[in-house]
């Protein structure tokens, strides 16, 4: 089966809405964030808990983009938040569905930069993130211990995920 390419776009609340929420903790404008200041510092935190339930904090060490997205997982019983540990990352997703596997043509990719967090809705298919500029770790939060989280092959071939280097800070 052939592989086609998807180019990662910078994540925004608008372009990620079908997959979940985006929080911008750097722009001082996000209405989903409470802003505070002090002597030489500025702070922001989400108005609501990032993930429902009692989530765990995890760290994944990932290689860099580009890559071929050949398998994905989904979590039917929990949301999952993803945020940078310091460098931009790329998240490949496919819409939540009743199907037993995601379809390659449905895969989209988003660049998440430091200071932004995404929270995927339950059931959204996703691959492990990759560094936008090379290998990098990233953080995730989800309720763990909810049973198997099987990785399944992407239907109708893989999808090559690439980043346009001039668009990522």
| Domain segments of the chain as ranges | 4-167
Alpha helix locations (H) across the chain? 13-16
Q: Whole-number mean pLDDT of the chain?
A: 93
Query: 1 pLDDT exceeds 80?
Result: no
User: How are beta strands 130-131 and 125-126 bridged, if at all?
Assistant: unpaired
Check: CB of residue 87 under 8 Å from CB of residue 70. Answer: no
Q: Could you tell me the pLDDT band of residue 164, with boundaries at 50, 70 and 90?
A: confident
At 1, list the tokens. Answer: 């089966």
**The overall pTM is greater than 0.95:** no
Query: 109 pLDDT exceeds 50?
Result: yes
CATH of region 4-167, choose from 2.60.120.480, 3.20.20.70, 3.40.50.920, 3.60.20.10: 2.60.120.480
């Amino acid at each position: 089966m052939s592989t086609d390419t998807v180019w990662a776009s910078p994540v925004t609340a608008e372009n990620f809405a079908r997959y979940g929420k985006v929080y911008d903790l750097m722009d001082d404008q996000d209405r989903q964030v409470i802003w505070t200041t002090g002597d030489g510092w500025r702070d922001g935190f989400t108005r609501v808990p990032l993930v429902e339930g009692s989530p765990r904090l995890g760290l994944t060490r990932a290689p860099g983009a580009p890559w071929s997205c050949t398998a994905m997982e989904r979590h039917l019983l929990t949301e999952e938040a993803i945020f940078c540990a310091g460098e931009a990352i790329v998240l490949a997703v496919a819409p939540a569905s009743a199907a037993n596997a995601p379809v390659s043509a449905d895969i989209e990719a988003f660049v998440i930069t430091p200071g932004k967090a995404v929270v995927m809705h339950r059931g959204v298919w996703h691959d492990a993130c990759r560094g936008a500029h090379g290998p990098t770790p990233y953080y995730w939060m989800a309720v763990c211990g909810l049973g198997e989280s099987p990785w399944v092959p992407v239907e109708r071939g893989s999808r090559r995920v690439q980043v346009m280097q001039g668009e990522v800070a």
